[in-house]
């Protein structure tokens, strides 16, 4: 099942700082719910894992993530991720286009994700997957904001040593998100 998900969010950090974090795969990885960067490969790509639990259903994808396009002047980048479900019951591929623009003293971030999934997760349905992904991007935005704030505090304090570790995104209860999505659609008020 292929889906296209468009999300936007604002952060208080400068566009340049926000863009720098978005293209730093090792630091942005923990900001994505359930994601873990396992290490850098010789070709510049990163080994990665994404885990998600939906009630009794647990899924863990292992694969590769890499920035395949990067334009610092336009603050635009494209991240490609591919993975295989570790129990061999599906695959996931994503092409994520990220654009950062000024928004007052902060930044506006647009993320377009072209996702192709097979296996058990594809059986959830397009509407539920879009809703769950939107909520997960919300958690990612919170973690990005917290990471950028920690970076700013580090610079203000003198910036000695490496920047602080990225703030890990809270991995939302995916089954709770699915239930909220279904009940929201069932009891939608017009």
What is Dmax (Cα atoms) for the chain?
55
Which pLDDT score, from 0 to 100, does residue 55 have?
55
Section 83-89 average pLDDT:
88
The secondary structure of the chain, three-state, reads CEEEEEEEEEECCCHHHHHHHHCCHHHHHHHCCCEEEEEECCCCCEEEEEEEEECCEEEEEEEEEEEEEEECCCCEEEEEEEEEECCCCCEEEEEEEEEEEEECCEEEEEEEEEEEECCHHHHHCHHHHHHHHHHHHHHHHHHHHHHHHHHHHHHHCCCCCCCCCCCCCCCCCHHHHHHHHHHHHHCCCC
Which pLDDT score, from 0 to 100, does residue 57 have?
66
Nearest to 170 by CA among 132, 140, 130: 140
Query: Cα(74)–Cα(92) distance, rounded to whole angstroms?
Result: 28
Query: Cα(159)–Cα(162) distance, rounded to whole angstroms?
Result: 8
pLDDT, greater one: 113 or 48: 48
Residue 13 φ/ψ region, left for φ over 0, alpha for ψ in the -120 to 50 degree band, beta for the rest: beta
* pLDDT category of residue 184 using cuts at 50, 70 and 90: low
**Is 80 a residue whose pLDDT tops 60?**
yes
**Domain count within the chain:** 1
Q: Are 50 and 189 in contact (CB under 8 A)?
A: no
Section 34-63 average pLDDT:
87
Interval 148-175: pLDDT, tens? 888 888 888 887 777 777 778 776 555 4
**Domain residues for 54?**
2-186
Which CATH number covers residue 104?
A: 3.30.530.20
pTM as predicted: 0.78
Which pLDDT score, from 0 to 100, does residue 19 have?
95
């Amino acid at each position: 099942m292929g889906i296209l998900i468009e999300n936007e969010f604002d952060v208080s950090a400068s566009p340049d700082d926000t863009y720098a974090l978005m293209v730093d795969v090792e630091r942005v990885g923990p900001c994505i719910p359930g994601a873990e960067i396992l290490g850098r490969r010789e070709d510049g790509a990163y080994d990665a894992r994404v885990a998600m639990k939906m009630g009794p259903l647990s899924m863990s994808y292992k694969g590769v993530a890499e920035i395949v396009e990067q334009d610092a002047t336009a603050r635009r980048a494209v991240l490609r991720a591919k993975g295989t479900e570790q129990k061999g019951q599906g695959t996931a591929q994503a092409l994520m286009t990220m654009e950062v623009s000024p928004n007052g003293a902060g930044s506006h971030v647009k993320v377009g994700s072209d996702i192709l999934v097979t296996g058990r997760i594809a059986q959830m349905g397009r509407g539920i997957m879009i809703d769950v992904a939107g909520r997960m991007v919300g958690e990612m935005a919170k973690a990005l904001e917290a990471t950028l704030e920690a970076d700013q505090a580090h610079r203000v304090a003198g910036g000695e040593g490496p920047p602080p570790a990225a703030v890990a995104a809270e991995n939302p209860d995916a089954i709770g998100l699915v239930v909220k999505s279904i009940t929201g659609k069932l009891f939608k008020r017009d």
